Chains A and B, each alone.
Chain A
Amino acid sequence: MRLGSSRRRHRAARPLSLVLALFLMGALYAALSPATQVAADTGMSAQVAEGKALFQVTCSSCHGLNGEGTTQGPSLVGVGAAAVEFQMATNRMPMAKPGAQAPRKVVQYTAEEINNIARYVHTLGPGPDIPNSSAYDYSALTDEDIAKGGELFRTNCSACHQAAANGGALPNGKYAPALHGVEPLHIYEAMRTGPQQMPVFSAGAIPDEDVAAIIGYLKGIEEQPSSGFSLGGLGPVTEGFAGWVIGIGGLCLIATWIASTGARAK
């Protein structure tokens, strides 16, 4: 549709101007209507207000202005501060583009900003709060407790994350990530909030001391010495490759040396 068209009116002019008018009305309403969200009970603290402002700039395009959810992102009512801290401190959120898998990226927000957003979202509805570190402190656990944590890990977690926590495949291009170097706080939060496709593991089935044991086990296997290069720790697939490439390949090279003759004098 050229500006200054010699035609009197383009066929699409009427529906398009209707759409334009609707859009204008919506924008005006959104800009001018009062904020309906009030903090439950305690009134808005400065943290929550900060968090709300950040939320509306960053998160609302997918999660809705009041966290009620849109077609692009689920509702955040009741997810709790723990979910926000996990998602943002690992910079899975905000997602670079919508999709089923939210990979971990470099963190772009300061801890204070994340905390403020978390506090705001926590007011949207009751949910798991960011825990005190004593909830998942495994330093006082005995070797037997940590070994029990390993049993819990292999019963609940290794099916997705692999027995040595090297990650695993999910359907349709998704995956459960490796857990090496993950903060104990984030492991706890992930279990309690069930991010993306990961299920929830609530305290009713796995109480805090069991979570601490699982985390203690994970940190334990990170510190274990290895009896050689682990080749990715992915098991027989990479071992088979190494056997063929290094074993057969190397020995074939040596075989060509054996069957060749010494350098000729002429």
Chain B
Amino acid sequence: MAKPTGIAAEGEVLQTRTPDQGGALKTMPAPATWLDERIGLGKLGKAALRKVFPDHWSFLLGEIALYSFIVLLLTGIFLTIWFRPSMAEIEYQGSYELMRGLHMSQAFESTLQISFDVRGGMLVRQIHHWGAILFMAAMTAHMLRVFFTGAFRKPRELNWLIGVVLLSLGMIAGMTGYSLPDDLLSGTGLRFTDGAIRSIPLVGTWIEFFVFGGEYPGDMIIARFYMAHILLLPAILLGLISAHMALVVYHKHSLFPGPGRTENNVVGYPLFPVYMAKAGGFFFIVFGVLILMGATMSINQVWLYGPYNPAQVTAGSQPDWYMGWVEGAVRIMPGWESHWGGTTWSWNVFLPFAVLMGLFYTALAVWPFIEAWLTGDKRPHHILDRPRNAPTRTALGVAGMTFYGLMWAGGGNDIIATQFNVSLNAVTYFLRVAVFVGPVIAFIITKRLCLSLQRADRERVLHGSESGIIVRSPAGGYSEPHVPISNDEAFALTQHRQYPPLEETPSHDEHGVKTSDPNKVSGLRARLSAWYTGDDIVKPTRDEIAASHHHEDEPKQLH
């Protein structure tokens, strides 16, 4: 991966630019002083307007999630003006002829009304649903970025936890939302939820009767989902998002390694005007993209599924994408059930549904603490990791993505079967093995890749990059001289902190007395720590770099 470099100029230590003489304002204008006298606008503005934010495209993923959430709120308000969350039966007399005269719930009927009789209603419904798809996808992408760059480390563990909660609540918000139209597809999903709740040992039927207000489906669930979807969940989400953003402001944004960047500063552009323009502009772009998606791509055509009828079903029944991995787990699970006495223990549903989801979100939540335990790292971090510089973490992340992705594929196994002309049963059998074997293979490949990249970086620092020029020496040998990389780049490649594996503290000191060190390292922890960081390629030391510069004075060697 040779990157030919020109001879780069050294970077100067450049502080903030001196402000221009004069400007648009002579003193604080009158409306601003009115506010200042009440809320201290001057103090706020002076502190906040010049706040620095770093620039990287991957820092905008969280913004996509935030902006899609705002779009969801706005379009959601529009929908609540017409939607009726009632399961009471009504005869359809609207403009969609293919349902004329059918009996359906008011929830479904009002959804048809929004889609066909309210101008702009279909557009807003589609924007809303695409927004939900994008909200979950952006949160997932953002979470992956935070994971792979180690941005969850101290002091940001709390923010990571808030994020995990946002992700799981977002899933529930989406599920309650797409169930509101009471159509055949989401109703089938509701039936699945009913069966899944039943599978919980000991309390399953109790939770079922409480959620549905009795037997399935009852006449309460749509109204209860409505309450959760427009009141409870948005309130909690807004609160958590505000806390999430407040912490980002307090901690300041993390930043990638590079010249001028340290653990004690933030380098980038000021909030006013650059970030207001970029972030504000991005809001309009996300909003615009969502509107254009709603205009050109049809989604959730409830009139084709029809009103929910517990005796009807459609082929290709899937939940929205973000529940797909649980769907896949449930599909590939073998039919294990235990009948002990007069009780039934449905492992075939309980394990892939409740247990798997519980384990997955718990694992996500505790990861920052596990990593800190493995590395013994108690320092705060504001410089991000390049993923290659944390090979085991990156490999674990890719293994997790592989597991998730294979489960996700399982959720669409019938679509895979029809679109790629393969046997449905074969896909299922394959995935039963692949969800265990795949992540292991992915881990091994990714870790090896990261270590190679670390070696390449080390070579680059010590020997520069290939120049692409072949030189023939007077003796006849060919060689390719290397061009030293710029100081800025060399700094960026060596800025990361490395973690030698923890040493096990001896259980007894030299006198045979048992040690009672509060920070003692157990044998297990030492072994896991060695697995976690032991293979990392050590970055070049100052002496090695100095030594490599002397080599430039020697005759060119054949590399």
A residues with a Cβ closer than 8 A to B are 143-144, 146-148, 150-151, 154-155, 158-164, 166-173, 175-176, 217, 220-221, 224, 226-231, 233-244, 246-248, 250-252, 254-256, 258-260
Chain B residue numbers with a CB within 8 Å of A168 are 314-316, 414, 418
List CB contacts (< 8 Å) of B209-237 with chain A. Answer: none
11 A-B pairs with CB atoms under 8 Å apart are A147-B92, A150-B306, A155-B312, A172-B426, A227-B123, A230-B301, A235-B314, A248-B137, A255-B60, A255-B282, A260-B57
Q: Which of B57, B278, B321 contacts A237 (CB 8 A)?
A: B321
Q: Are B311 and A155 in contact (CB under 8 A)?
A: yes
Q: Are A144 and B312 in contact (CB under 8 A)?
A: no
Q: Are A158 and B313 in contact (CB under 8 A)?
A: yes
> Looking at chain B's contact residues, is the secondary structure mostly helix, strand, loop, or mixed?
helix
Given contacts A143-B97, A247-B130, contact A163 B314 (CB under 8 A): yes
**B134 CB–A CB distance under 8 Å:** yes
Q: Are B133 and A176 in contact (CB under 8 A)?
A: no
Q: Are B57 and A226 in contact (CB under 8 A)?
A: no
Cα(A178)–Cα(B138), bound, Å:
34
Chain A residue numbers with a CB within 8 Å of B489 are none
Chain B residue numbers with a CB within 8 Å of A146 are 97-98, 100
Q: Are A160 and B315 in contact (CB under 8 A)?
A: yes
Cα(A217)–Cα(B64), bound, Å:
41
Report how many residues on chain B are interfacial, defined by Cβ distance under 8 Å.
74
Chain B residue numbers with a CB within 8 Å of A151 are 102, 306, 309
Distance from A221 Cβ to chain B, minimum over Cβ atoms (Å): 7
List CB contacts (< 8 Å) of B385-420 with chain A. Answer: 411-415, 417-419
Q: Which of B64, B296, B304, B424 contacts A169 (CB 8 A)?
A: B424
Q: Are A234 and B60 in contact (CB under 8 A)?
A: no
Q: Which of A155, A220, A242 contacts B98 (CB 8 A)?
A: A220
Given contacts A154-B309, A247-B137, contact A240 B98 (CB under 8 A): no
Cα(A151)–Cα(B184), bound, Å:
11
Chain B residue numbers with a CB within 8 Å of A252 are 57, 61, 141
Q: Are A144 and B100 in contact (CB under 8 A)?
A: yes
B residues with a Cβ closer than 8 A to A are 55-61, 64, 92, 97-102, 115, 122-123, 126, 130, 133-134, 137-138, 141, 184-185, 278, 281-282, 285-286, 289-290, 293-301, 304-306, 309, 311-322, 324, 411-415, 417-419, 421-426
Q: Which of B56, B318, B423 contacts A172 (CB 8 A)?
A: B423
Number of A-B contacts (CB under 8 A): 207
Q: Which of B100, B289, B298, B419 contacts A227 (CB 8 A)?
A: B298
> Looking at chain A's contact residues, is the secondary structure mostly helix, strand, loop, or mixed?
helix
Distance from A124 Cβ to chain B, minimum over Cβ atoms (Å): 34
Q: Which of B134, B281, B298, B426 contacts A230 (CB 8 A)?
A: B298
Q: Are B425 and A240 in contact (CB under 8 A)?
A: no
Given contacts A175-B417, A229-B297, A251-B64, contact A143 B315 (CB under 8 A): no
Q: Are B304 and A228 in contact (CB under 8 A)?
A: no
Chain B residue numbers with a CB within 8 Å of A147 are 92, 97-102
Chain A residue numbers with a CB within 8 Å of B297 are 228-229, 231, 242, 246
Distance from B278 Cβ to chain A, minimum over Cβ atoms (Å): 6
Q: Are A143 and B101 in contact (CB under 8 A)?
A: yes
Q: Are A251 and B314 in contact (CB under 8 A)?
A: no
Q: Are A175 and B418 in contact (CB under 8 A)?
A: yes
Cα(A147)–Cα(B92), bound, Å:
10
Q: Are A234 and B415 in contact (CB under 8 A)?
A: yes
Q: Are B289 and A172 in contact (CB under 8 A)?
A: no
Q: Are A240 and B321 in contact (CB under 8 A)?
A: yes
Q: Are B318 and A237 in contact (CB under 8 A)?
A: yes
Cα(A226)–Cα(B290), bound, Å:
18
17 further interface pairs, Cβ-Cβ under 8 Å (given A154-B309, A163-B314): A147-B98, A150-B98, A154-B306, A158-B313, A158-B315, A160-B315, A167-B315, A168-B418, A172-B424, A173-B422, A228-B299, A235-B317, A237-B316, A237-B321, A238-B415, A242-B293, A255-B58
Q: Which of A164, A170, A254, A256 contacts B301 (CB 8 A)?
A: A164
Q: Are A163 and B423 in contact (CB under 8 A)?
A: no
Cα(A168)–Cα(B130), bound, Å:
25
